[in-house]
Amino acid sequence: MRSVYLISLITPVRDNEGVRRSNRRFRIGHFAALVASAVACAAQESSTIALSNGARIEVTAGFGHPTGEETLTVEMARASGNSFYRIFWDQNHLAVYAYELALDLAPGGDRVLAAAKPAEEEFASHYPNADAGKPVPTLSEVHDLGPLGSGQSATLGLFEIPGVGLAVSETLQVKLNQSGGTGGPLRLAGIQVFADKNAGKGTERELVSGPAPKASVAGRYVMFYLPGRGAYFFSAEPVSDRAFVEAGSVDHNQMDFSIDNEAFHVTADAPILTQPESGDVWVYHDPAYKPSGNWTLDLTGATTAQSAENAFFTAASDSLSWWLE
């Protein structure tokens, strides 16, 4: 028999707007005691993306002051073009909570529009056994978290579990027009991409990228989008759950790789591998990839979302879920 905890839902708090809380309470099934983990010790877990237009978005889960009797892990999974599921799992990989986070740029490019939504029918269809066939607890209504300007943040309170120190919340932080990346083993700074016109049999190359992006990006994973060719994703180590192949190498400011019968040469303004500066890279090519929403637009001069499909851009993240399902 599964016992139940009484859990309180806390409504969002936007910086400098005061605290608003709801006393509404509901019950969810008790999840089994978990083994203490690094997540419990750190009491937070974050996902970050940086784009070459200068946008940087960070989503951080806070767990309060867990005693170690109960711990949670968080997964970010792509829901749609501009939204993601945030799923909280126990040690048996049963979902104890989930919601959908939608993000977009305001028309002027100077603010982020954000909303937290219930994870409902579509989530259930993608994760039918997330909680062993039971409905996964979620928000009861949509919560508007924006618009948020550069340097601003919003906090969404989710639930508390009395007695074990868990008070679960999520904080969304926005920085716009940033010149640097997120930090990580891979970095793309002022890159240009050339295609080998002779399929690896010669040195004649054609420039296939647009103007070098304004901001550098860095992270566990980096990518660039070439109009007409799709997206190319890079890792400094093997990726077990994706079709990455060891297809290239980096030597300081230059990278060469071959995939899908095309050979490419990349030059950059700074070393592409941060430490050491030379080594192998793993590559995944998604020829059908299209930019979602207006996230690739120049923040200093908003244009139409349609033009984003024709724009060369780079990005970096600590999670492939920012781009891939």
Segment 102-119, tens digit of pLDDT: 998 887 788 999 999 999
The more confidently predicted of residues 3 and 299 is 299
Give a yes or no: residue 152 inside a domain: yes
Q: Please indicate, yes or no, whether residues 130 and 103 belong to a single structural domain of this protein.
A: yes
Q: Please indicate, yes or no, whether residues 91 and 137 belong to a single structural domain of this protein.
A: yes
Indicate if the pLDDT at residue 138 is higher than 50.
yes
Q: Please indicate, yes or no, whether residues 228 and 300 belong to a single structural domain of this protein.
A: yes
Give a yes or no: residue 111 inside a domain: yes
Burial of 3 (0-12, 13-18, 19+ CB in 10 A): exposed
Closest residue by Cα to residue 68 from 165, 141, 149, 211: 165
Q: Please indicate, yes or no, whether residues 31 and 133 belong to a single structural domain of this protein.
A: yes
Q: Please indicate, yes or no, whether residues 39 and 162 belong to a single structural domain of this protein.
A: yes
Give a yes or no: residue 64 inside a domain: yes
Q: Please indicate, yes or no, whether residues 192 and 289 belong to a single structural domain of this protein.
A: yes
Banded model confidence at residue 127, pLDDT cuts 50, 70, 90: very high
- Looking up tokens 């991409």 gives 193
Give a yes or no: residue 67 inside a domain: yes
Cα 80 to Cα 8, 111, 219, 322, distances in angstroms: 29, 20, 23, 10
Residue after which a domain boundary falls, among 175, 194, 229 = 175
Indicate if the pLDDT at residue 240 is higher than 90.
no
Give a yes or no: residue 181 inside a domain: no
Domain range for 161: 4-175
Phi-psi map region of 158: left, alpha, beta (phi>0 left; psi -120 to 50 alpha)? alpha
Q: Please indicate, yes or no, whether residues 96 and 202 belong to a single structural domain of this protein.
A: no
Q: Please indicate, yes or no, whether residues 165 and 202 belong to a single structural domain of this protein.
A: no
* Proportion of the chain above pLDDT 70, given as a percent: 80
CA–CA dist 307, 294 (Å, integer): 9
Q: Please indicate, yes or no, whether residues 26 and 55 belong to a single structural domain of this protein.
A: yes
Residue after which a domain boundary falls, among 118, 142, 175 = 175
Give a yes or no: residue 245 inside a domain: yes
Cα 274 to Cα 185, 201, 218, 251, distances in angstroms: 5, 30, 9, 11
Q: Please indicate, yes or no, whether residues 251 and 277 belong to a single structural domain of this protein.
A: yes
How many Cα atoms within 13 Å fall on the side-chain side of residue 307? Answer: 6
Q: What is the pTM of this model?
A: 0.81
DSSP 122: H
Closest residue by Cα to residue 170 from 46, 78, 81, 48: 46
Give a yes or no: residue 81 inside a domain: yes
Write out the two tokens for 93: 């990989």
Give a yes or no: residue 180 inside a domain: no
Q: Please indicate, yes or no, whether residues 163 and 202 belong to a single structural domain of this protein.
A: no
Closest residue by Cα to residue 317 from 156, 147, 212, 188: 188
Tally of domains within the chain = 2
CA–CA dist 325, 286 (Å, integer): 12
Residue after which a domain boundary falls, among 175, 204, 233 = 175
Indicate if the pLDDT at residue 8 is higher than 80.
no
Q: Please indicate, yes or no, whether residues 160 and 263 belong to a single structural domain of this protein.
A: no
Closest residue by Cα to residue 48 from 260, 321, 324, 325: 321
What's the pLDDT score for residue 44?
53
Q: What is the pLDDT of residues 148-195, one digit of tens each?
A: 999 999 999 998 877 878 899 999 999 998 766 657 899 999 999 999
Residue 135, number of CB atoms within 10 A of its CB: 13
Indicate if the pLDDT at residue 23 is higher than 80.
no
- Bridge partner list, 231: 225, 286
- Radius of gyration, alpha carbons of the chain: 21
